[in-house]
């Protein structure tokens, strides 16, 4: 068990630090009453992933991939076109510093604000 904890600390950060950061995000999320249970839970999981990015390895791709997944679940939009999925992945790569230097202007190329299911 100790081996797993040591390994996870490399990517997730110190548990106490990550928990502290995550709880601050969660307190803010809980203060908004207009969310559905699904939206709130998705935001809670995203908060945890952000805390792991801040306290652990910001280049650990799984954190970013999980945020995409939870955002899609919170949005209630589980069927996206290949172009919309590519645009999301490109945005995550850009934030994570993994995008190629000649990354196209994603917002102009893919109109995510008017994607199916977007209100």
Residue ranges of domains in the chain? 2-114
Is pTM beyond 0.75? Reply is no
Mean of the per-residue pLDDT values of the chain = 79
User: What pLDDT is stored for residue 45 in this prediction?
Assistant: 96
Over residues 70-99, the mean pLDDT reads 73
| pLDDT of 113 above 60 | no
Reported as a single tens digit per residue, the pLDDT across 10-63 is 999 999 999 999 999 999 999 987 888 889 999 999 999 999 999 999 999 999
Exposure letters 59-72 (e unless 16+ CB within 10 A, then b): ebeebbebbbebbb
């Amino acid at each position: 068990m100790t081996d797993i904890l040591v390994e996870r600390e490399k990517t997730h950060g110190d548990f106490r630090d990550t928990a502290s950061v995550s709880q601050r995000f969660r307190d803010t999320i809980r203060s908004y009453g207009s969310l559905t249970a699904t939206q709130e839970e998705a935001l809670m999981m995203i908060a945890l992933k952000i805390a792991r990015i801040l306290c652990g390895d910001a280049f650990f791709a799984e954190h970013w991939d999980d945020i995409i997944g939870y955002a899609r679940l919170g949005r209630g939009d589980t069927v996206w076109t290949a172009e919309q999925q590519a645009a999301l992945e490109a945005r995550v790569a850009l934030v994570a510093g993994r995008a190629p230097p000649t990354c196209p202007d994603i917002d102009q190329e893919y109109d995510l604000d008017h994607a199916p299911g977007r209100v």
